[in-house]
Amino acid sequence: MKTIEWIDNQLKLIDQRKIPDELTYVYCTNYQEVIEAIDNMTVRGAPAIGVAAAFAMALAFINNDDLKKAADEIKSSRPTAINLFWAVDRVYNSDNPLEEALNIYNEDIETNIAIGNFGSKIIEDGDTILTHCNAGALACVEYGTALGVIRSAFNEGKDINVICDETRPRGQGARLSVWELQEEGIPVKLIPDVASGYLMSIDKIDKIVIGADRIAKGGVVNKIGSLLVALSAKYFDIPFYVAAPLSTFDMNNSVFDTEIEERSADEVTHYGGCRICPENTEVINPAFDIVPKELITGIITEDGIIDPI
């Protein structure tokens, strides 16, 4: 399953807003349509956003648009995931934008397989692994980072079980991660976000593996709720790993200087199109939080497992 494909000078994207109810696609023929797909979360997940942004630049090149203007607009679509900025700059500074976008696309697949192979070494036969949000094939071109680790362990024949928390407010764990794992026959259970600490306290979780949207000096930025999972893991002495490509690293800045995206109040006040709180309720809806490096056991990359920076 490929989340992103380049076909006949069009960018084909799985519409992740429709999963698990239906598998449908969106086709983008200009960079503005890719920006819309990134903004409305048709495509999401740091590596996938980066690849989509690269092809947005390729579309701007093919359509003879102003590349500097396109780069600035694409970068403004979502401020937190570093892969987007990395991909845009790499394509902008290349001699052949389309060729460079295709290189980024192919590298993403190879990178995630390498992450999976390195990460599978931390998974033991009989482990139950908790993952937060969706860092699977749907967050990349294919295969995945955190779920790539789980896939590799499962494909090696290890007897494992996975627990996905729902990941409010958009439910990426419930809608996307559970769907991916069920599609591949990997044993999985869904829990409410608020249940993970309890399960750790009764020895029902052996390892935790999540993805990342940005890794910088001092820690990791990931989907909101990651910090609470990490704090519980630290208290109950459960290994907490982050799986992410090197393109997610921002070596020049502190993680605590990251701009945290604030999303629409509707994501919190409504679920499945139904309002779940009183009208005119004020909302705070950060899309990400920061996990300090002291809470992280290791970071799984395509070059191996390293300490947090």
Domain ranges of the chain: 4-112, 122-306
pLDDT tens-place values along the chain, 309 residues long: 899 999 999 999 999 999 999 999 999 999 999 999 999 999 999 999 999 999 999 999 999 999 999 999 999 999 898 999 999 999 999 999 999 999 999 999 999 999 999 999 999 999 999 999 999 999 999 999 999 999 999 999 999 999 999 999 999 999 999 999 999 999 999 999 999 999 999 999 999 999 999 999 999 999 999 999 999 999 999 999 999 999 999 999 999 999 999 999 999 999 988 999 999 999 999 999 999 999 999 999 999 999 999
Give the β-pairing of 298-301 and 304-306: antiparallel
Q: State the pLDDT at residue 300.
A: 98
β-pair type (10-14, 4-7): antiparallel
Q: CB under 8 Å to 171, separation ≥6 — which residues?
A: 271
Residue 226: what pLDDT? Answer: 98
Question: In the prediction, which pLDDT does 81 show?
Answer: 83
pTM for this prediction = 0.95
Q: Which fold has domain 122-306?
A: Rossmann fold (3.40.50)
**Residues assigned a catalytic role:** 213
- Residue 8's CB is within 10 A of a number of other CB atoms, namely 7
CA distance 167 to 277: 18
Contact in structure between 77 and 35 (CB atoms under 8 Å): yes
| Distance, CA of 30 to CA of 11 (rounded, Å) | 9
* Strand, coil or helix: 233: helix
* CATH 1.20.120.420 for domain 4-112: yes
Give the C-alpha distances (Å, rounded to integers) separating 140 from 100, 150, 239: 17, 15, 24
In one-letter notation, the amino acid at residue 11 is: L
Q: Residue 114 has what pLDDT?
A: 98
How many angstroms separate the CA atoms of 140 and 146, rounded? Answer: 11
Domains 4-112 and 122-306 share a fold: no
